[in-house]
Structure 1
């Protein structure tokens, strides 16, 4: 779905334990580079190829990947995407998330899930163990800091929004006034909601992080889970941040 000129919200379908879900990476591009924000689950390269081709930006043209955080549904297809591009792809993340993405530390939520997996069905436990023992990983070429402006695609501001994970970031696409929220926000039944408690490491910190978003003039939000939200965005975020 085209959100603005040079900004596409991808719709990537995933089958998890027999249920179909949709994730929404963002694709931003200009005449110089193409930037993918978040990289889906392992094994989703064909879906990314199809979605990016439909947007007019073949995966071979990918120049940068920005990761909002370390979770498996955000970094899973990263190694395959890097191999698929015909050029060097620069990977960016926050400093706090870097060692997890590079495989130097175990993914926090995967480690927690593994610790409590003994009661899971055998097939699910085995699958979780395989991913835990061989998680997707790739070098992070550049770390980004809170408030940093990335000088491409009309300007993209990095916003450190910890809570969901320690180094979670959101991105503000200045040209279109669009917030790429990662998992800091979600859309449920057409409504913008705050971070989902069962997947958030520290809810208090995550809610406090929403207050940082209020300083930006936001016309649209792309949520990784739930998709696009428009209409009185700043007012809605203020409601969520202030309870």
Structure 2
């Protein structure tokens, strides 16, 4: 888990590595490329060695450094996202929540993913389509470590799951339904983009949220 500070707003891209394979999940805010590069260097994975980027959704704090990554890594890095958020990421449509930006970050999506698909990285990563926060929001289940990368479907506070962040979630009904997809996962940890990692009784915390 990486930690990037944007004027006091801490976000947590995930960097997964197995052997020669390295995968970045989300990229931080626009303008954070130096911080992202430093965090990756500290983790032993230089940006130039990155092979895949998975975007949980279209919001600017998740796709912010995508243009610089593509500029540096070129066609060697492959970008994954859900088809419903692809046109926003590629700049074909204005970002749903950041349409005011004059020059929003944008970049290509090489592969669209779907609910239940397993990506062949790091022992297998299951894609879970979890709309609500955006139409094409996805979460990722890393089978080997029993870790749920929740993106913005949840937020956490002091190691505990805080719930769904209503002010940035246009469709709360869909977001609540999405949580039900986590119920059967064998979980040891949940990583929220805003708030960081949660361990201990995480499944029970999620079930209670779904019942609220």
Quick check: TM above 0.5?
yes
Aligned: 1:199 with 2:168 = yes
* Residue-by-residue CA offset, 1:170-224 (whole Å, 9 max, x unaligned): 0000000000000001112432022100000111110110000111111001100
Is this contact kept in 1: 2:82–2:137, CA < 8 A?
A: yes
> Which aligned pairs between 1:179-218 and structure 2 lie closer than 5 A?
179-218=148-187
2: CA distance between counterparts of 1:94 and 1:80? 21
**Which has the larger displacement, 36-45 or 81-90?**
81-90
Q: Corresponding residue for 1:143?
A: 112
Aligned: 1:84 with 2:72 = yes
Q: Secondary structure at the match of 1:82?
A: helix
Aligned: 1:38 with 2:38 = no
Is this contact kept in 1: 2:159–2:196, CA < 8 A?
A: no
Aligned: 1:48 with 2:17 = no
2: CA distance between counterparts of 1:27 and 1:190? 19
Q: Corresponding residue for 2:81?
A: 93
Pairing partner for 1:61 from 41, 49, 64: 49
How far apart are 1:29 and its partner, in Å?
1.1
User: CA distance change for structure 1 residues 81 and 170 in 2, over 3 Å: closer, same or farther?
Assistant: same
How far apart are 1:32 and its partner, in Å?
3.3
Q: Corresponding residue for 1:120?
A: none
Q: Corresponding residue for 2:2?
A: 10
Aligned: 1:73 with 2:42 = no
Q: Secondary structure at the match of 2:94?
A: coil
Aligned-residue Cα RMSD (Å) equals 1.1
- TM-score by length of structure 1 reads 0.85
Unaligned runs of 5+ in 2: none
Unaligned runs of 5+ in 1: 1-8, 115-131
* Residue-by-residue CA offset, 1:115-144 (whole Å, 9 max, x unaligned): xxxxxxxxxxxxxxxxx2211111100000
2: CA distance between counterparts of 1:69 and 1:95? 10
2: CA distance between counterparts of 1:156 and 1:84? 25
2: CA distance between counterparts of 1:89 and 1:220? 27
* Residue-by-residue CA offset, 1:43-86 (whole Å, 9 max, x unaligned): 11110111111111111110000000000100011111222337
Aligned: 1:221 with 2:209 = no
Runs of 4+ in 1 over 4 A off after TM superposition: none
- TM-score by length of structure 2 reads 0.97
Q: Corresponding residue for 2:10?
A: 22
2: CA distance between counterparts of 1:109 and 1:30? 35
**Which has the larger displacement, 86-95 or 233-242?**
86-95
Is this contact kept in 1: 2:159–2:199, CA < 8 A?
A: no
Larger radius of gyration: 1
2: CA distance between counterparts of 1:188 and 1:56? 28
